[in-house]
Structure 1
Amino acid sequence: MHNGQTIVSIDPVNPEPDIIARAGKILQKNGVVIFPAKCLYGIAANALDETAIEKVFQLKQRPLNNPVLVLIPNKTMLADLVTSISKQAYKLMDAFWPGNITLVFEGKKHISRRLTANTGKIGIRFPFHPVVKALVEYVNFPITGTSANLSGQKGCSHINQLSSSMIDQADLVLDAGRLKGGSGSTIVDVTTSPVAILREGEVSISQINKIMST
C-alpha cells in the first residue's frame, strides 16, 4: 500500500506555497507529481529530462506512439521549444492563452522523441489553473501535462478514480477535490494552414473559427 504521505490536499484557488515548493522540488529532481487542472488530473514531470519522461510512460502504461503535451510558465518559453510560430498560432494564443487550448508545433531538435512520439511535433499549453500555473512557474521549465489515467482509460476528475499503481509510483499527489471533468483541452495543430483541430475540448470549434476569420 502507498503511505499517506503521497497524497496532500491543496487549495485549488489559492494553492499553498509550501505545497507548491514541495511538488516543485520533486520535479526538479526528476520525480513525478499528479496535479489538478481545470477538468482532469494530470501527471507532471520535467519535460526536458528523458528519465522523468520515461516515468510518465511507465505510470500511464502508455504506448510509445502517443505524444505527450507540455505545459509552460509563460509564452516566452515557446521560443526554446518550437522551430517557428505562425501568425495563426499567435492569434490563437492571444485569444485563448492562458487556458484550455493546446497548440501543436514543430518541436526543436532537443525535444525528446518520446514527447513527440517520433512525429517531431509537440503539443504545448500555457495553463490557467492556479495549481499547475504556480507549479510550472516555481520550476520555470516545461512540464508534462498528460492526463493521469492508464492508457486507453478515461481521465480522472477525482483522485478516488486514480489507479492504485499510479498513486504508488507517483512521488506526490496533489488532491484538489472533485474537478469539473469533461474532455480537457482542445488540441489544434498550428503547423498546417489552415490550422487543423485534432480534438474539440473546452474551447469549441466555432470559437476557434471565429478567431481565425478575424
Structure 2
Amino acid sequence: MKPGSIGTDTDHAIEVLRNGGVIGFPTETVYGLAAAASNSVAVNRIFEIKGRPRNHPLIVHLNSLTEARHWSADWSASAEILGALFWPGPLTVIVTKALNVHQEVTGGLETVALRVPNHAVALEVLRGLEGGIAAPSANKFGKVSPTTAEHVLADLGSEVDYILDGGPCSIGLESTIVDCSANTIQILRPGGISHELISQVLPVAEQVTGPSRASGMLDSHYAPICRLTVVANVNEAQSLLETQAANQQARIIDGSSDPTLFATQMYSQLRQCDDDGIDQAIVVLPSPNGIGHAIRDRLLKAAHGAQSQSH
C-alpha cells in the first residue's frame, strides 16, 4: 500500500509497526500518530512528522493493566487503583519509568505516561504487536486534533505509512492525564475521565506546578487557523456576531447545550470552520462540570493559540 493510504487492515498496521513504520491509529479519544514504543528510530519519526518538541513526553498505549505494570520501576498504589477502575478508558497515568523505556518516549524524564485505550481496533493492534505503542495526536504540533481517519490524511498525508480507520472517535477529546509518581496525585490535563470521578476514589492535589510534564499543558494548543473567541452564553455570541465587519465571516458554535455530544464534534466543527473559510469562530462554553471542564480547557488553549498565530 502507498504511504497515506486509509484502510481497515489491522494485520497490515501491525506489520508496518513491527517494521519501524508510523501509522494513524484509532482510539476512543483522538487518532494517534503511532510507532512501536520499543523502536527509538520509529519514535523519532513521530517527532519529525508532527513537528513536536523532543522534550514533550509521549503516551504509551498498552493492551492491559498487567502489561502497564511492566513499564514502571515503581508502580504506585494510585496508578493501580485508577487503572483498575478506569481502564480500558480515556485515562493516562504517569509513573516512574522502567529502566528499559527509551528516553525518546519520556522526553528525557524519569517518568512515563501509560494508557489502555477503550477501542476494539486499537486493542486488536496492541495484542497483535505484543508491545507498547507510543502515540501523540496525529496532527501537526499545536493544531486541531483529528477524530477521523480523514482528518489524519488531511493533516499528514503521505508522511505516515498507513492510516488505520477505526471510525469516528467516540469521546473526541484527549485522555485525562494523572501524575501518579508522587504521594498525592495531580491532574495535569482534564479529559474523558472527570475530576469529580477521580476525586471520589483518591485525594487530588489541586495545584499543578512546575514546567510542562505532559502533552497539552502549554497555554497554546489545539488551535484552528481562524480566530477563535469563547463566550459564556448564546446571547453574548449573538451580540458578538452582530458586531462583525461586513467582510468578515463568523460562525457560532454552541458547546453549552449537550457537552458530551459536543465533545465528539468539537474538533470536527473547528476544522469545518477552517475548511469553509470562516474568519472567526464564536464558541459558547459549557459549564465546568464533568467533561465540560475538559472542553473548556481545550477551547481556552485553542483561542490562545489562534490569537498567537494571527499576530
- 2:14 is paired with a residue whose SS is helix
> Alpha-carbon deviation of 1:54?
0.8
Structure 1 equivalent of residue 62 of structure 2: 72
In structure 2, which of residues 133, 154, 160 is the aligned counterpart of residue 143 of structure 1? 133
- 1:156 is paired with a residue whose SS is coil
> Alpha-carbon deviation of 1:110?
1.9
Q: Which has the higher contact order (CA 8 A, sep 6+)?
A: 1
Structure 2 equivalent of residue 202 of structure 1: 192
User: How many angstroms apart in 1 are the aligned matches of 2:167 and 2:61?
Assistant: 22
Q: Is residue 2:62 matched to residue 1:108?
A: no
Q: Which has the larger radius of gyration?
A: 2
- 2:187 is paired with a residue whose SS is strand
- 1:152 is paired with a residue whose SS is coil
Residues 1:146 and 1:169: Cα distance change in structure 2 (over 3 Å): same
Q: Is residue 2:173 matched to residue 1:183?
A: yes
User: How many angstroms apart in 1 are the aligned matches of 2:117 and 2:14?
Assistant: 16
User: How many angstroms apart in 1 are the aligned matches of 2:165 and 2:135?
Assistant: 16
CA contact (8 A) 1:72 1:125 kept: yes
Structure 2 equivalent of residue 14 of structure 1: none
CA contact (8 A) 2:3 2:159 kept: no
> Alpha-carbon deviation of 1:111?
1.3
Scaled by the length of structure 2, the TM-score of the pair is: 0.61
Scaled by the length of structure 1, the TM-score of the pair is: 0.88
CA contact (8 A) 2:63 2:126 kept: yes
> Alpha-carbon deviation of 1:22?
1.0
> Alpha-carbon deviation of 1:82?
0.8
Alignment deviations for residues 166-196 of structure 1 (CA, whole Å, 9 cap, x no partner)? 2212111012343346321100000012101
User: How many angstroms apart in 2 are the aligned matches of 1:46 and 1:5?
Assistant: 18
Q: Which amino acid aligns with 1:71?
A: H
User: How many angstroms apart in 2 are the aligned matches of 1:212 and 1:63?
Assistant: 32
> Alpha-carbon deviation of 1:61?
1.1
- 1:83 is paired with a residue whose SS is strand
CA contact (8 A) 1:156 1:181 kept: no
CA contact (8 A) 1:68 1:144 kept: yes
User: How many angstroms apart in 2 are the aligned matches of 1:162 and 1:171?
Assistant: 12
> Alpha-carbon deviation of 1:163?
5.9
Q: What are structure 2's unaligned runs of at least 5 residues?
A: 204-311
In structure 2, which of residues 101, 123, 133 is the aligned counterpart of residue 133 of structure 1? 123
Alignment deviations for residues 48-98 of structure 1 (CA, whole Å, 9 cap, x no partner)? 111110111111111112100001122222233211112111111111011
Q: Which amino acid aligns with 1:43?
A: L
Structure 1 equivalent of residue 76 of structure 2: 86
CA contact (8 A) 2:63 2:123 kept: yes
Structure 2 equivalent of residue 37 of structure 1: 27
Shifted more, 157-166 versus 34-43: the winner is 157-166
Q: Which amino acid aligns with 1:102?
A: T
Q: Is residue 2:83 matched to residue 1:62?
A: no
